[in-house]
Amino acid sequence: MTESPTTVRPPRTAPALLPSLGLFTTVMMVVGGVIGSGIFKKPAIMAAQVGSPGLLLMVWLLAGVLTLFGALTIAEITGIIPETGGQYVYFERIFGPFTGFLYGWACFAVIQTGSIAAVAYIFAEYAAQFIRLPEFSPALSAWSVHLYGLGDVTPFRDIGVKGIAALLIFILTVVNYVGVRFGGLVQNIFTIAKVAAMAALMLGAFLLPAGGAVSHLTTHSTIIHPQGLALILATVASLQGAFWAYDGWIKLTYIAGEIKEPQLNLPRALGLGLLLVTLIYMLMNLAYAYVLPVDQMAKSKLVAADVAERCFQGGGRWIAAAVMISTFGTTNSIILATARVFYSMAHQNVFPKFLGKVHPRFHTPGPSLVVQGVWSALLLFSGTFDTLTDTLIFISWIFYAASAWGVFVLRRREPYAPRPYHAPGYPFVPAIFILFAVLYLVFTVYNDFAAYRAAVAAGKPALINSIFGTVLVLSGAPIYLYYRTRPRQPDT
């Protein structure tokens, strides 16, 4: 690999990250990192959009196939550049250091830290069904600071839920601080537990007398029947929900340097993990549609809980526990993987140097884990993480498309580079993914402008999310210039 002239590598005697994760753990990282709360909630929203169980299943299948196309495409790059830092390292090599920095900055600012806060918050919300959480007085809870476009920041509202979420972030940061193998073990346990809980729900739906019927799978809604352009827009909107549920697989690339034989195991884990996730999602939606008619599904606030109530006594609380298990594992996956991006940025001389330190005993990027945890907690208490994350979904898909385009760039620029894995169906599979990503981005911009016009017409302050997300990412440019122009300091 040809290094950037500004690359700063740790000395040979410095503590280093160790390759200690095998294929099974990396597959569990994909499954655990993707399956969060989306599969328990999104199908109801999507059913209300399309009004057809058959179309609902097709949307989930299409989203799974397209996500798999993207993963199998980008997996070729993982074989060529099997380094810790994932997409940040890929962009630095393929498109230059500035593009790489913008991706890493976006991850730090909100894409991944905001995801940590959001998923931990969902865990805490469901924990509130089992324990009574404290709250501040109404006056203190209502105290807020207004930020244009983001709404009111209310740090003291739902303080009990935020406290539990912050505790979860702290515990999992400590778990991953004391060793990647320990963090991987936690990931394995909770991924197996969440898959077992979902399997129990699927078996209960089909085998127990829950009132399910095959006719539910073919009966369309009596009140929701979009046609023509409305049907296309409804399908695109439902795809957004499905893609949210499938998101998270890219995090595995962040820890390439700690995977055994990453040139082989990383592509295998991405393919096997997403095939398993797609199968689970299809079976879960089949179980939902079998038990609940589509109109009932469309009205459900938590479709998995409604199905569980039909199948088991106390099914709602059982699903609440399942969601807690699922989001616990997802939070762990994000925390474990994402800190490696900031570690890599520090070694490229574009982030504070101390973030590139490795703990001498645990061989983990301790400072990066700590800073990531602190910033995630601040986003959590600000209450703006959902809004910020929504604005940057647009940016995430730009980076996905750019990563897939990188396969074409490397094939042309480095035709003789070792490729232990080749993207299947090249150039068609990568091209299909890129084309869809572009269409998805166009529809996102269209919907953002439509939402903006509606908000302005209603007299409410608003932002165009895609533009705001772009500006937020570009706000990192001065930081990049500062570190790139500062005299390089040698490692000690």
Q: What ranges do the domains of the chain cover? A: 23-485
The encoded tokens of residue 103 equal 């991706």
pLDDT at site 209: 73
For position 403, what pLDDT does the model report?
Answer: 94
Q: How far apart are CA 408 and CA 402, in angstroms?
A: 10
Nearest to 252 by CA among 227, 276, 274: 274
Compute the distance between CA of residue 403 and CA of residue 23 in angstroms, rounded to an integer.
23
Amino acid 170: pLDDT? 96
pLDDT digits (tens, 9 = 90+) for 404-443: 999 999 999 999 988 888 999 999 999 999 999 998 888 8
**Could you tell me the pLDDT band of residue 98, with boundaries at 50, 70 and 90?**
very high
CATH class of the 23-485 domain in this structure: mainly alpha
Mean pLDDT of 48-72: 93
449 or 93, higher pLDDT: 93
Instruction: Report residue 13's pLDDT band, with 50, 70 and 90 as the boundaries.
Output: low
Q: How confident is the model at residue 6 (pLDDT cuts 50, 70, 90)?
A: very low
> Residue 264 to residues 33, 120, 306: CA-CA distances in angstroms?
20, 32, 42
- Nearest 5 degrees, angle CA 153-CA 154-CA 155? 110
Quick one: pLDDT at residue 183? 82
Percentage of residues in the chain having pLDDT higher than 90: 41
In this prediction, residue 470 carries a pLDDT of 86
Nearest Cα residue to 58 out of 197, 201, 176, 217: 217
Q: Is the pLDDT of residue 238 over 60?
A: yes
Tell me the CA distances in angstroms from 489 to 131, 345, 485, 486, one per residue in order: 51, 14, 12, 9
- State the pLDDT at residue 8: 45
| pTM score of the predicted model | 0.85
pLDDT (mean) for 312-323: 84
